[in-house]
Each structure stands twice: as structure tokens, then as C-alpha cells.
Structure 1
């Protein structure tokens, strides 16, 4: 089955510190120098490459199918979840993990202990008709109340208050991350996609780099990044440095890094759409091989055919069809390296997505930004 003959189906159905939760608004203070780095998610791009690369027959099919890793989120979470939407929309939790083992140790730093953290999280809402989408980035440093959850191995994890959002993944993996997002938003996550440091870098290199324009010099030794203002074609290593940096631009916070990640994702999506991969079969296969070996999915997407169907339902969505925001938060006056949910504005976001409506601009007005918007395009 070639990509051209594929039909257009829809989308198929470090732990934080325990302590009291705090709320309030405050001015941003200078963050501490040593901070763990985030990861830009390219799972959408990976899925799109699978659409182009899946042949559906012979060795290639079985090789790509064998690459895929999946986790049974539904089995772990059971029935105590928000109801599925009946308005034709879909919600996908996309995570970037920084596993500190194997090839990721050099890229992510830290101990080679096999642990992983979700340094980047995006809630992707695909509207009815699958022609537009909204993306809500969830800051990893947000202090939340984490619900009790069961991981995919059957292990139980108690609830915790006033912990960082990314503690959910490091505590109980993908299932606990999904449980936490559903508890936070009241929205059912229909699918789960995850990509890691080394996979991200390999995908960018397989694509031949990504072109971006920076409006100022960006220098961050921690992320091995040194860019002058202007237009650059970033290698995988440079791209990873850009989406990990938090000291090179803005106010040095995770929020500024999120703004860079969102700008890079738009540039990446535009480039993938313009590449004629069918003219280079080897490159096409290499991209598909890397993409399927990079992503971890929920069990419903754990085969090439399912991922093909999923990606075909999204491939009409380009950068201009996406609205990207950061979950409404304010800086924590008690700790300059943490943020707190701005609950009233966040509810505007969740209500809009539940009703398959655009996110109102008022939902992000006056919230913390990170001050890096417009640095990269």
C-alpha cells in the first residue's frame, strides 16, 4: 500500500518535593543556573514521515512494525476517566522524555540510571474535520496536585500535593502522565505519543536539517548552542540545543524555552510539507525507520497500519492551521523556578477544547510568558 493510495481515515479511537500547594502572582526573579533541559516534541512529524515511508508489504513493513513501542494506557487507567468527546474532535498527549541511559546520557546529561523525565508536554486538540488544531504546552515546572495512579506494570502510586508536573511521568510513566493531565483538564486523552532526545536529533539529521531565522544572537554553553542573529539550517545537534536552551534567550525560564519549541515546531512542519521524499527512496526509508524507532505510542497506535491511519487524519494540518499557547500560569512568588496554574484562565482553555471551540485570547492575557516570543521563526 503506497502513501498515495492510502485513504483518508480519521484518527482511530525527578519526582517533585511534597509540600503544600501555593498560589499567587509575583515578579520573575533570576533563575538558578543549573536546570534540566527540555525536549521539543516531533511526534507529529514522525507520524507524518511514517505515512510517507510505510509500504505495507514485505520486509519494510515488518521492519517498521517491529520498531514501534507501545504502552496500554487504557488498561492501566480503567474506566475512571473523563468521557470521550462526541463532537468529532480528538485529544493527544505528546511527551518529550529525557531517558538518562544509552545514547540519551550524552544528550541529556545526568546519571546513567535508566530513569526518564517528561521535560516537554503538549496537549494537542484536533478539531472536528481534522483541518485545524490547538496545542497547549504544559510547563514542566508547574506545581500541581498529582492524583493517585496505576502504571502499566500494575504498580500503584499515591497522590501528592504541590509537586512538579513532570513528576507524574518519572513516578509512574506514561499512564500516570495521562492520568495527571486528565485530572488537570477534565479532558479525555484519546492518544499518547512520546519521543526522546536521541530520536529527535536523528530525525532532524535525516531530514537534512531545519531552517530557522533568529532575531538575536543565542549563546548557551549548557546546550552547546552558539547562533548569530540571522538565518540558519540547524543540524540535529543544533536543533536539540535550541529547543533545550533556557539561558540563551528570554527570562531564562522554562516558559521561554516553550516559546522557542513552538516556533521550531512550526518551522519543522512547514519544511516536512515541502520536502519531496518520494524522489529519494533510501532517504524515505531511513526517515521511516528512524521515525518508527523513535516514538512510543499508546497501544491503539502500536502498529504501522494504525499509525498510518492516525497520521493520514492529521496530514492536512500545517503550521498556519495550528494555534499554540502555553497553559495559563503565573510565577510562584515563593520560588522563582516554579509556576502556578492560573485557574480561572486555564478553565477558559479547557472549556473551549471540550466544546471543540477556539481558545479565546483572553485566556492567556496577563499570564507569564517567558519573554522569548519572536526570537525564532
Structure 2
């Protein structure tokens, strides 16, 4: 959250605005300021800063710079996922994807005081909260999904800000991404898992959570019974959260306890659900406070948020953060939906989790196709299937000159692979002029069909791969660069188990898989409490 300043950063003396972005001028005709450099006038329209708070335009500029200096930044990504930004819709708009990260970093003494763990001061921080917020291209809905912190995933090769490289791994939980290249590595991991391009990341630590909750005057949360997340004979630790039955506006350390509680909610999935309730409550509180237009509220939020947040470099300014927050300003509560990726106990570590592939892919498909998690939108706004692949850039090579390898990847989620599938698709390509197409005896199980081309083949490789995708009826989103292939490789996924032409299945709004722990911002539900941690409100 921040203050919007048009023209302010350029020092050209033009009028600026904050809070509403209306562009109205006060007084008479606009006159160009004559002062130069840092002393040029920065007017803050709508009675913000210069007249009511700061007194002078010069002070306004200095305060703006002060807010910017509060912000800490970092690279957007920690590696190369190969995922590209979605194509614009008919109006030229694209979805906006923001990765929210909660860090357990103890290097700051304030975080040790709040979260304990003095012995963890020198350890790499963990990204114990991870939420991907997807704001639709039409800015009418917001869909958020979490992956529980102990979920084992494929983490790609990442490089941190100091140039240290971490090898890819398939055996570590997703919360370790933060220590394997910083928040940029967490973003790259999410992109690799989901196929969704992520525009920005924002990270907050223990102290930041406390300060933000205090700034808004508390965040409403609710429990079905009293709760006390205390140590027990069987389970040590606990957040210390102690709330009576019903709704409480938590702030300060109590807000942090709510977000860190796990035992009382039963597991990490329950903790993610409680975090979603908190986030929805925070958003509702901001809407009720008119936080985007109320001068005093805006100032307080700007000061607190810029100190509490670390952000990816491309949004490391007050103006960028304010503009970003404005993308959510008009989303109605019944169009804000959160979910958690369904998981099961990991096969390699019974203390960890694994995503259920088919259910995770259904959620990722909805995000890629910009399909809302709720059913409350106008039917005419429903997403259309991705456009067919259309070659762009240099002309594709003649089909007969393109080498194509076809791999059978249909054996996913316990399903037996379809026999002869690679051979059948290779023969289809041969019939369309790709005479060098061959089937492979290897298997590469995957949920979605893909056409991969050698990354070092550049634009020509992409054009050739697009021509192959077009021949098979695959959408442009199925074409991806890959550093580990030569030529063009088609992997037939579980979404194309039969037929000679791919038929894309259109996701439906609100059709989230079972076990997603869906929470809607307009539904006032309370967290159930695991029996051992129920509290009668007296002792």
C-alpha cells in the first residue's frame, strides 16, 4: 500500500495526485513551475500531504523519498522457468499474479522476540507462508491459492543475490526455496510448478505482520469454539493463541499467533485456511476504512507497509505499490476466493506432504486460463479456451525438415499409460508432412501435453515448435523452451489420452477440486478447533 504520485518522480513540476487518481486540478489553469531539480514543486492533489500534513511541496517530495527508502527489494526471479506472460485479452489487459511470502527469518532481534528461536538466528529463513494471488484480466475477481509449507516439490536451479547457485532438487519441501536463492527462487519454483507467469513477489516477516495488523486496528477472525494453542503431553510447542468463541479482531502479537497456529487447526492445510480467513478479513477491513481514499489512513498504511514489506525490484516504489493495490480496490468480497492445493502424505517422507497431481493441475489450469475460483461472475465474461498455436517470428522450417520426437506421458496419477500412444501421434504428424517424426520408447508422465523446443534454438526453434503444435491442435500455451531437449519434443500428457487432434477442455468458474478448503471473503465462517486445543474461555 502506498501513495500514488503522477509525474512526481521525474521532477518536471507537473501536478500529481494521490489516493484517487482522478487527475482533477484545484484552482485556476495549470501553470508550469519554475523551480528546478529537487526543489521543483510536487503538488499532492485531493488535500493530501502538502497542505494538510506536510505544509510544503518540498517536504512532500522529501517524505515521498523517505517512504521509498523504507522499502527493501530483490530480483523478481531466481532462475529461468521458461514461463511467459499471458497474452492480452481483447481489451489489451492481462491477469496480474502476485506471490505473497511469509518469512520466519530470525536475523532481526524483533523476530526472535516475537517468534522465539534464538538458536535459529544464523539459519537460512524458511518461506512458511506462500500464497499466489491471481487478479483477473478484467479486475473483477481475485483468486488465491496456497501450497502448504511442508509440501515436497521440484525446486529448479536457482541463483541468489550474491551469485551463489543452488542445484535443482526433487526431495525438499517448498518452504526451503527461500534459503535456496531468496524470494526470487520461491517465485521461479511456483512458475515451474504452475505454468503461470508471476509478475511480482512481496514478503513480510513476523514484525511486519504485527505492525500491519496494528495499523488497521485489528483483523477480524473467528473460531467455532474457544481455542488455546498450548503445548501438550504429546505435542510440544504451540503458538500460544488464546481466543474465546466467536469473532475477535486480532492485532499485535495475537495476529502473528493466529497466522502461525497449526496444531489447533489440525495440520498445515488448516493453517493455510486460517491464513486465508485472516487475509480476507484484512481486505474487508481496508474496504470499510476507505483506505484507498482516506488521507490519514493512507499515510499510516504507507509508512507501515513500506517498513514491513520487502518487494521485487520492479515494484520497489510507493507509486508502484499504490498502483498495485488499486488493482484490488474494486473487487467485491463475493469475487474473492481462496483455496489450498489438496495434498497427501509424502511417499518419501511421512512427515511431509505431496500435492495430488490431478487436483493441483486443475487449479493451475484455472489460473492459466484466467478462470475465476468463484461462480459469481457474469457468464458472458467466462474465459475462452486458449487460442490455437500460431507461428510468429521467423517462418517455420518446412515440416519435412523438422525432427520431432514423440513421448508417451499418459501414465499419470495411477493411470496406466495408453499403449501405442506415442506411435499413433507420430504417425499423425507424418501424415501432416512431418516425415521425420518418431516415437520414443521412453516415458515422461505429465498432466498436460506439451511441445518443447531446445532453448538455444531461440525464435526459430519456437516457430518450428508452434508449427508442430498447430498440426496437432495444441494451443500456443503448450509450447515451451527447454534446455534439456534437442530438436522438437512432443510429450502426450494425461489430458490427451485418445484421438488424433487435441481437444482442449475448458475449465469452469468455481469448479475447484474436492479438498481445496475453499474460503470466500463474503462468507462469515469460523475455524473449527481440534479437540485437544478447545478452550472454555475460563481457565
* TM surpasses 0.5: yes
Between stretches 268-277 and 166-175, larger displacement belongs to 268-277
> RMSD of aligned C-alpha atoms?
2.7
Are residues 1:101 and 2:107 paired? yes
SS in 1 for 2:181: helix
- Report Cα offsets for 1:257-309 as digits up to 9, x if no partner: 0111111111111111111567673x643332111111111111011122222
1 CA distance for matches of 2:166 and 2:203? 21
Check 1:319–1:328 CA distance in 2 against 1; reply closer, same or farther (3 A cut): same
CA contact (8 A) 1:132 1:321 kept: yes
Between stretches 356-365 and 229-238, larger displacement belongs to 356-365
Report the counterpart of residue 86 of structure 1 in structure 2: 87
CA contact (8 A) 2:19 2:295 kept: no
Check 1:54–1:90 CA distance in 2 against 1; reply closer, same or farther (3 A cut): farther
Check 1:366–1:239 CA distance in 2 against 1; reply closer, same or farther (3 A cut): closer
Unaligned 5+ segments in structure 1 are 9-51
Are residues 1:275 and 2:289 paired? yes
Q: Output aligned runs, 1:1-377, within 5 Å.
A: 1-6=16-21, 57-74=60-77, 76-77=78-79, 81-87=82-88, 88-102=94-108, 103-110=110-117, 111-113=120-122, 115-221=124-230, 222-249=238-265, 251=266, 253-276=267-290, 281=296, 284-332=298-346, 335-359=349-373, 363-366=512-515, 374-376=525-527
> How far apart are 1:53 and its partner, in Å?
8.5
| Larger CA Rg, structure 1 vs 2 | 2
Length, aligned pairs only: 326
1 CA distance for matches of 2:148 and 2:137? 27
2 CA distance for matches of 1:98 and 1:54? 35
For normalisation by structure 2, the TM-score amounts to: 0.56
2 CA distance for matches of 1:112 and 1:310? 33
1 CA distance for matches of 2:251 and 2:98? 28
1 CA distance for matches of 2:290 and 2:517? 40
CA contact (8 A) 1:147 1:160 kept: yes
Unaligned 5+ segments in structure 2 are 1-15, 24-46, 51-56, 89-93, 231-237, 374-507, 519-523, 529-539
Between stretches 330-339 and 256-265, larger displacement belongs to 330-339
Check 1:353–1:317 CA distance in 2 against 1; reply closer, same or farther (3 A cut): same
Between stretches 311-320 and 332-341, larger displacement belongs to 332-341
Check 1:65–1:358 CA distance in 2 against 1; reply closer, same or farther (3 A cut): same
For normalisation by structure 1, the TM-score amounts to: 0.79
CA contact (8 A) 1:95 1:118 kept: yes
Report the counterpart of residue 25 of structure 1 in structure 2: none
